[in-house]
């Protein structure tokens, strides 16, 4: 009889807690007692409550991300569009009598349009790559071969801007299952960042090595920039340091796309900034060559 009473009281308790969950929201849990079918029922309710809470939070996060995306894209597209409209108005007012002015305005409009097109392409690419249906075009590649080709290309580019590449490559080969074009995009982006932000006449240091069956690529440079902001946020969507986003024609998605590509390869990319030196480190799982 005592056992029956305990079960009845526990059933009443479960009923009260279910009502509490209904009123206060999912995520609330029931105290699990005993080891019988009521115990299993309580565990099931707790699991359902927690999972539904996680699902609701995920949906909220998706909605928030979507709203942020719309807000930031609207802001970033408005700036070049306003500039283009301004120059078109000047062209309408001045006509084509002043050939030099005409060519200057057309040149600016063309540059702004190309920047705008690039921003839109980056937005579409980022949206596509964050989709659950997105798939990489995987094949077995030797990343050292690709990296050496890219270094040769960028040595010429860096030399023109007064920069010197210092290489420390301790691997002769590095085989990975990867999307070659996407990893080329990652490395090009890191080289381009070094080119833009490195102090004039300084060295861009490249290190390549293996650590715990992982390919490591580091690119480090000195910078005169003081407006980099919080480097821990550098991979976030639309983050552009402390500069006003209206001053740049970039969408702010470049490094977010880089991070997403690396994540799709089950790798990691990090950045550190100390004493005016910024260093990106790329880590990717190696595949043993059989």
User: 149-199: per-residue pLDDT in tens?
Assistant: 999 999 888 988 889 899 999 999 999 999 999 999 899 989 988 888 888
Residues 116 and 21 in one domain: yes
In this structure, are 38 and 51 located in the same domain?
yes
- Structural domain of 159: 139-285
Residues 10 and 87 in one domain: yes
- Check whether 244 has a pLDDT greater than 50: no
More confident position, 48 or 211: 211
Does 43 lie in the same domain as 73?
Answer: yes
Query: In this prediction, what percent of the chain has a pLDDT beyond 90?
Result: 23
Kindly state the average pLDDT of the residues 63-90.
Answer: 70
C-alpha span between 87 and 80 (Å, rounded): 11
pLDDT-based confidence at residue 70 (cuts at 50, 70, 90) = low
Higher pLDDT, 52 or 66: 52
- Considering the domain architecture, whether residues 153 and 216 belong to the same structural domain is answered as yes
Determine, yes or no, domain membership for 125. Answer: yes
Q: What strands, in cross-sheet order, belong to the sheet with 277-285? A: 164-169, 203-210, 214-222, 277-285, 268-274
What local confidence, expressed as pLDDT, does residue 42 receive? Answer: 76
Question: 13, 11, 15, 45: which is closest to 28 by C-alpha?
Answer: 45
Confidence of residue 233 (pLDDT cuts 50, 70, 90): low
208 forms bridges with which residues in the sheet?
169, 217
Q: Band of the pLDDT at 76, cuts 50, 70, 90? A: low
Judgement on whether residues 106 and 126 belong to the same structural domain of the protein:
yes
Q: Mean pLDDT lowest for which of 72-76, 223-227, 239-243?
A: 239-243
pLDDT, residue 118, reads: 74
pLDDT of residue 228: 59
Domain boundary among 134, 162, 196: 134
> How far is it, in rounded angstroms, from Cα 248 to Cα 115?
10
Instruction: Examine the fold and report which residue of 134, 159, 191 is the final residue of a domain before the chain moves on.
Output: 134
Indicate whether 3 pLDDT > 90.
no
Tokens describing residue 104: 């200057």
8 Å CB contact between 139 and 177: yes
Query: What is the Cα Rg of the chain in Å?
Result: 27
Q: Which of 243, 244, 157, 237 is nearest to 204 (CA)?
A: 157
* pLDDT value at residue 268: 94
Give the global pTM: 0.64
The yes-or-no verdict on residue 34 having pLDDT over 60 is yes
| 96 and 209 housed in the same domain | no
Does 23 fall in a domain?
A: yes
d(CA 37, CA 48) in angstroms, rounded, equals 16
The model's confidence at residue 269, banded by pLDDT at 50, 70 and 90, is: very high
Give residue-wise pLDDT tens across range 93-120: 766 667 777 778 788 788 778 777 777 7
Indicate the residue among 70, 102, 134 that finishes a domain: 134
Q: Is the pLDDT of residue 239 over 80?
A: no
Asked whether residue 290 is domain-assigned, the answer is no
DSSP 205-251: EEEEEE-SSEEEEEEEEEB--S----GGGTTSTT-BTBS-GGG--S-
Mean pLDDT of the chain: 78
Q: Are 166 and 243 contained in the same domain?
A: yes
pLDDT category of residue 11 using cuts at 50, 70 and 90 = confident
As a whole number, mean pLDDT of residues 56-78 equals: 69
In a domain, 246, yes or no: yes
């Amino acid at each position: 009889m005592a056992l029956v009473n305990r079960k009845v009281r526990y059933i009443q308790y479960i009923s009260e807690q279910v009502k509490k969950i209904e009123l206060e929201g999912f995520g609330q849990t029931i105290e699990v007692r005993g080891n019988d079918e009521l115990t299993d029922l309580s565990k099931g309710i707790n699991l359902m409550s927690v999972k539904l809470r996680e699902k609701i939070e995920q949906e909220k996060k998706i909605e928030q991300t979507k709203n942020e995306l719309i807000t930031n894209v609207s802001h970033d597209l408005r700036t070049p569009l306003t500039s283009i409209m301004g120059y078109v108005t000047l062209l309408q007012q001045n006509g084509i009598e002043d050939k030099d002015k005409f060519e200057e305005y057309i040149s600016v409009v063309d540059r702004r349009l190309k920047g705008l097109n690039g921003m839109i392409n980056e937005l579409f690419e980022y949206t596509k790559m964050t989709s659950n249906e997105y798939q990489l075009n995987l094949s077995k590649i030797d990343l050292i071969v690709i990296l050496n080709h890219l270094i040769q290309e960028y040595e010429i580019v860096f030399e023109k801007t007064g920069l010197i590449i210092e290489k420390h490559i301790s691997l002769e080969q590095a085989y990975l299952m990867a999307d070659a074009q996407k990893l080329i995009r990652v490395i090009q982006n890191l080289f381009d960042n070094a080119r833009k932000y490195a102090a004039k006449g300084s060295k861009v240091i490249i290190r390549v090595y293996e650590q715990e069956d992982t390919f490591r690529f580091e690119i480090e440079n000195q910078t005169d920039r003081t407006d980099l902001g919080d480097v821990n946020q550098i991979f976030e969507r639309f983050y552009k340091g402390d500069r006003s986003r209206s001053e740049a024609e970039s969408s702010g998605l470049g490094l977010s796309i880089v991070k997403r590509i690396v994540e799709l390869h089950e790798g990691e990319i990090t950045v550190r900034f100390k004493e005016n030196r910024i260093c990106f480190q790329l880590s990717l799982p190696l595949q043993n060559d059989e």
